[in-house]
Amino acid sequence: MKSPVIQKLNVLDTLETNYMPYAMSVIISRALPEIDGLKPSHRKLLYTMYGMGLLKGSLTKSANIVGQTMKIHPHGDMAIYETMVRMTKGNESLLLPLVESKGNFGRCYSRDMAFASPRYTEAKLMPVAAEFFQAINKDTVPFVPNYDNTSKEPVLLPVTFPSILANPNHGIAVGMASNFCSFNLTELCNATIAFLEDERDKVFSLLQAPDFSTGAQLLYDEKELHRIYETGHGSFSLRAVYQYHKEDNCIEITEIPYTTTLEAIMEKLVSLMKAGKLKEVNDIRDETDLKGLKLTLDLKKNTDPTALMTRLFRQTTLQDTFSCNFNLIVKGQPKVLGINGILTEWLHFRQECLKRQFAYEMAEQEKTLHLLKGLEKILLDIDKAIRIIRETHKDKEVVPNLMEVFAIDEVQAEYVAEIKLRHLNREHLLKQTRQLKNLRASIKDLKDMINSPDLQKEYIISDLKRVRDTYGQPRRTKIIDREDVPQASPAVMISHYNLKVFLTKDGYLKKIPLTSLRGNFDHKLKPKDYIIQEVEGENKDDLILLSSAQKAYKLKLYELEDLKTSDLGLYLPNLVPMEPEEKILYAVSTSDYTGHMLFGFRNGKMAKIPLSAYETKTNRKVLANAFADEPLRGIRYLTEETELLAVSNINKVLIFDTGQINPKTTRHSMGVQVLKSKKDSELVALMALDQVQLENPDYYRAKIPAVGAYLKKTDSLCLTEEGETAENITLLELMPTHNTENDDQ
């Protein structure tokens, strides 16, 4: 058995030999557009259709076009067909479509609306495509052999306007990419005319902003657009157009950014709904038809459509970014150019086309002039010319004899000899020779055109005005100032809906939307665990958790996961940095930090602290010294002044008005004495009047501070029934450590 032959290769040499030619081929011959605004695949397809007579002829099957294109474009039929699909009017990819279409060519804004097979669809060139073939038969551009050397094809097309900026174009090469936005043809022609007239300061103002076939709105940022115009790099934002129909309470989206698809938007909307982040929407419907795109959102009652759309612009591709990279091939080299650079290169290209055209026309006219000069000499003695022809014995001697007698060259003699007998009348010959004057003037004009850049610019300007007036259309993409667009504040980005927060003794938290609570009140809890508090709020609220370590933990409710009653809940030590023995005692939900917190301590003192004392500008999540470091016996959130009931461990009861307690600005204040001590009694509970059964509440009422009255045998308090909420439970068993020597419940 022969040993394998191992050949050592230099990586750099291998890359240069094998990879570099491929990379250059992709860059130059496939992915990047050239100065005529076309990639090779586009150019070959259009030239084939032009050669088939489809500029003025009738529609033909797309399969026929694809087959003919393969003669100069050696690629698969579907690759060629997909190229044609994008250029059609029916697909709506191009702002200035070049191919007229009949049949289903799909839509650029839909991923699922697939185009039909080429055997079913028909196409021809749009009238504007004639501007790509202006005088192409007059040597305006060079031709090269096709891949099998059986025919020739143009290197570029002599387009009469800067089409590179008239249609969007995207390409990914090896190590570089290209992404052109499109501009309105009328604005583009006006800006190009100003550029040619050396009024370049007007170019940016005339070329207002990009324009796209899918419409939508462009958020105008003058500074960023100027950067794009100057460097060819930059980005801008596009956003969808919608209408709100109050009678149906729905939003209809009719235009979307060019960079996205209807399906991508719907998938994101559906995912938001499944995640519970789009509760304002009842249903999403795709109502796109032959009339155009339409996406309908059915809204719930009292939904603010403007706020909802502002949020969706941030959360979906209803607002998207278009990144510009004006990278194109100029004379075989890739270049990234701004608008002025592109117009400069296009002007050079167009002038070269015109010079070739004028040179071709001048050569043809000089040929005619040369022939007519010979005819003019014959005209001086036409009878003599006839006699020479008649008396010459051999056919091959006719031309030499005419050359000798009239002193003309062979070409002129051949022309005279080929004149028909019926044209040998003086009237016809005089008519022909009268062209001499016009030809000489025309040749002089052509020479001036070839040698004068100013005359060439005038010619180009006349073409641009004709193109503008013939094919110009109103803008589709509306321009709105970015500063006029309402910015999505954090509050707007939050989905608004009502909910309840449940807090359990063992430290579990459940955030449950009210829609999930309808008829479902059987909570899943750990053994021996029970709910100690139920708090109502909105998804946009802040949640303040007060702990046994005199700390306040702040959470954003919208950041917490929506749960169901069948869920165990979120374990609080995983949400906030609690100590091992620390317990959460009370929860408050607020959006505006109004109201007061009332803390009742074992010594009978109570502190009323404004809830605004827990509001921080820096959004801190942990606040120390949330209340006084004193054994706590009750917490209440007061939205308004009310009457509460204080209970001591010797069954003394006091009903007092919270309005009698003056607020303290310091969170850790001990407050004021409310329940006086008797026989070393202590406060053990703080309750609401609607939680107790009292025959005569006035019996217990007193102005603070007061000792209170003994509880009558006929009255009931119901302090610590397991399973009750915090309204009926003391904080004694929630505190990790406390003195119970005098607790007598």
Confidence of residue 732 (pLDDT cuts 50, 70, 90): low
Peptide bond into 705 cis (omega under 30): yes
Asked if residue 291 and residue 145 are part of one domain, the reply reads: no
What's the pLDDT tens digit per position in 356-376?
999 999 999 999 999 888 888
Asked if residue 502 and residue 364 are part of one domain, the reply reads: no
How would you classify the pairing of strands 584-590 and 643-648?
unpaired
Confidence of residue 11 (pLDDT cuts 50, 70, 90): confident
Asked if residue 693 and residue 571 are part of one domain, the reply reads: no
Residues 679-699 have a mean pLDDT of 86
Q: Which residue has the higher pLDDT, 719 or 420?
A: 420
Asked if residue 738 and residue 599 are part of one domain, the reply reads: yes
Q: What are phi and psi of 229, to 5 degrees?
A: -60, -35
Q: Answer yes or no: is 13 within a domain.
A: no
- The CA distance from 121 to 116, in Å, is 7
Asked if residue 603 and residue 742 are part of one domain, the reply reads: yes
Last residue of a domain, one of 298, 317, 336: 317
Exposure b/e, 251-267, CB count within 10 A at least 16 = b:
bbbbbbbbbbbbebbbe
Residue 417: CATH number of its domain: 1.10.268.10
Q: What is the mean pLDDT of the chain?
A: 89
Asked if residue 738 and residue 607 are part of one domain, the reply reads: yes
Q: Answer yes or no: is 587 within a domain.
A: yes
Name the nearest CA neighbour of 586 among 690, 685, 503: 503
Q: Is the pLDDT of residue 619 over 90?
A: no
Q: Answer yes or no: is 502 within a domain.
A: yes
Asked if residue 673 and residue 700 are part of one domain, the reply reads: yes
- The CA distance from 375 to 434, in Å, is 11
77-91, 124-138, 281-295, 420-434: segment of lowest average pLDDT: 420-434
What's the pLDDT tens digit per position in 140-194?
999 999 999 999 999 999 999 999 999 999 999 888 899 999 999 999 999 999 9
Asked if residue 598 and residue 713 are part of one domain, the reply reads: yes
Residues 381-396 have a mean pLDDT of 84
Residues 517-539 have a mean pLDDT of 86
What's the pLDDT tens digit per position in 714-727?
888 765 433 333 44
Last residue of a domain, one of 273, 302, 317: 317
What is the per-residue pLDDT for 29? 76
Asked if residue 516 and residue 636 are part of one domain, the reply reads: no
| 530 carries an active-site annotation | no
For residue 302, the SS3 value is coil
Work out the burial of residue 366: count CB atoms within 10 Å of its CB; fewer than 13 is exposed, 13-18 middle, 19 or more buried.
middle
Residue 271: CATH number of its domain: 3.30.1360.40
Asked if residue 604 and residue 585 are part of one domain, the reply reads: no
In the beta sheet, which residues pair with residue 183? Answer: 210
- Which of 120, 147, 571, 710 is catalytic? The answer is 120
| H or E element, residue 102 | strand 99-102
When divided into structural domains, the chain yields a total of: 5
- The CA distance from 473 to 255, in Å, is 18
Work out the burial of residue 284: count CB atoms within 10 Å of its CB; fewer than 13 is exposed, 13-18 middle, 19 or more buried.
middle
Distances (CA, A) of 272 to 277, 294, 310: 5, 20, 15
What is the per-residue pLDDT for 419? 81
- Residue span of the structural domain in which 378 resides: 349-463
Q: Record the pTM.
A: 0.76
Q: Answer yes or no: is 22 within a domain.
A: no
Q: Is the pLDDT of residue 617 over 70?
A: yes
Residue 631: CATH number of its domain: 2.120.10.90
What is the per-residue pLDDT for 385? 82
In the beta sheet, which residues pair with residue 172? Answer: 177
Q: Answer yes or no: is 332 within a domain.
A: no
Q: Answer yes or no: is 322 within a domain.
A: no
Q: Is the pLDDT of residue 78 over 80?
A: yes
- The CA distance from 106 to 229, in Å, is 32
Exposure b/e, 72-94, CB count within 10 A at least 16 = b:
bbeeeeeebbbbbbbbbbbbbbb
Q: Answer yes or no: is 17 within a domain.
A: no
CB 575 within 8 A of CB 509: yes
What is the per-residue pLDDT for 727? 42
User: Dihedral through CA 487, CA 489, CA 495, CA 501, nearest 10?
Assistant: 180
Q: Answer yes or no: is 642 within a domain.
A: yes
Confidence of residue 539 (pLDDT cuts 50, 70, 90): confident
Last residue of a domain, one of 261, 296, 317: 317
Asked if residue 717 and residue 602 are part of one domain, the reply reads: yes
Asked if residue 566 and residue 501 are part of one domain, the reply reads: yes
What's the pLDDT tens digit per position in 238-269?
999 999 999 999 999 999 999 999 999 999 99
